[in-house]
Amino acid sequence: MKNNSIQKISLFIAASLLAVACNTVAPKTDKQTETSKTYTMNSAELKTQLDLQDHLEADEDGVEQIYKYSEKDMLIAIPLIAQGLKDSNYELIDQPSFEEKLKTIFGDIFQNENKKVRLREKFSTIFVDKKTDEFDYTNDNLFVSKEHKFITRVPLLGDFIEFTDSTHYKIDLHKKTISLNKYLFNNSKPDLAYLLAEDSLFLKTLVKSFGYTREPKINSLVMNDYLNLDDNHMPTVGEIIFVKNGAGVLEIKQELLQWITNHTTVNDNALALALGQYAYALYSNGDNEMYTNNPFKIFSLEEKRKIAAYIANTYEPLYYNLTPKNSRIWPNSTVLENLLVEDEGLAAYLKDHKYFLLPALKQQLEPAD
């Protein structure tokens, strides 16, 4: 009887331990879930390239860099990334849809090589700032594979290739690469949530350097950063709202103007005032040192007037709606009133261009009877 009791207790303990083991959740990592898949394609070339990429930087003994990342490295990495995305359930979309998505994200900048884009046979490079070192892995240049329909930052083989023996290797893409493509091209909201939590800095780069303003949650990340700037630097928000794309064409990010409208309150008009200061900087070359691109210099008169129109269309309704409720935080005159004095031809120009079909602007200059 005693032995039977001991056996029952032993079986209970074993079953409990098994249940705990089965319900234990593996810790999350930044790597994709481990896969048993291995590959052998081009393994010899991969090994050679891995060894070369080990010498991209000077070592601790002061030995200079003996290898420089090049187009060849990118061409080797592209099909491997494509396979890794496929293994991670990334869904390829058709070519027209992919190109339309690219246009939505980056603007219409892929027709010809320009200040922002370098076109190559197998991929295109979108520069985070200006054309400097294309393959500098310390910056956020993006590379677009139209054949395989994905984007990536500079891929270092050692970050996602692991040899299991002399000829077999695994592809283990970083979760950020997977989520970026699933969010942008598969509309995956869980992957957006991951990026907001784990790669917010790069999401801000999408807005500030690449002009992507279609996602409200990312816009809020960026605009709140500007809200935290001091009064002298807050007007630089205009630099991400009124931009020239790679082809030199003025683009106005209306989603960010709408964000200012939505977040200006009775007691907080900081970004509205900053927008007004940017409007004045268009017409004055003084005290513009805080701008990366001086608005007084980079825009033509016609572009300045169009920008002024969009700023006035945003600012004027806020001014007239909120000033009666808290006049002490608003100036005595509006942005439009001041700009009409500064630019005597502005009113006629706006009328000739039908006020750019901006209703609040037209209401101010041609009030209904």
252-263 pLDDT, tens digit each: 999 999 999 999
CA distances from 53 to 13, 56, 129, 174 (A): 52, 5, 25, 18
CA torsion angle 346 348 351 355 (round to 10): 0
What is the spatial distance between Cα 180 and Cα 278, in angstroms, rounded to a whole number?
A: 33
* Residues 119-129, mean pLDDT to the nearest whole number: 91
Q: Is 6's pLDDT higher than 70?
A: no
Please provide the distance, in angstroms rounded to a whole number, between the alpha carbons at the two ends of the chain: 102
Q: What is the pLDDT of residue 283?
A: 96
pLDDT band at 138 (very low <50, low <70, confident <90, very high): confident
Tell me the pLDDT tens digit for each residue of 222-242.
999 999 999 999 999 999 999
| Chain segment 84-108, per-residue pLDDT in tens | 999 999 999 999 999 999 999 988 8
Helix or strand (DSSP H, E) at 119: strand 117-119
The answer to whether 124 and 157 have CB atoms below 8 angstroms apart is: no
pLDDT at 26: 35
Q: Which positions ≥6 away from 41 have C-beta within 8 Å?
A: none
Q: Is the pLDDT of residue 111 over 90?
A: no
Of 59-63, 224-228, 353-357, give the lowest mean pLDDT range. Answer: 59-63
Q: Quick one: pLDDT band at residue 22, thresholds 50, 70, 90?
A: very low
Specify the range with the lowest mean pLDDT, choosing from 13-27, 174-188, 326-340: 13-27
User: How many angstroms from the chain centroid is the CA of residue 108?
Assistant: 16
**Dihedral pair phi/psi, residue 169, rounded to 5°:** -145, 160
Helical segments of the chain, H only:
2-23, 43-53, 71-87, 95-106, 175-186, 189-198, 200-208, 216-227, 238-241, 254-263, 270-281, 295-298, 301-322, 335-342, 346-352, 359-365
Any bridge partners for residue 169, and if so which? Answer: 39, 163
More confident residue, 355 or 25: 355
Residue 25 confidence class, pLDDT cut points 50, 70, 90: very low
Residue 139 banded pLDDT, cuts 50, 70, 90: confident
pLDDT value at residue 367: 84
Taking a C-beta distance cutoff of 8 angstroms, is the pair 204, 221 a contact?
Answer: yes
Residues 175-221: tens digit of each pLDDT: 999 999 999 999 999 999 999 999 999 999 999 999 999 999 999 99
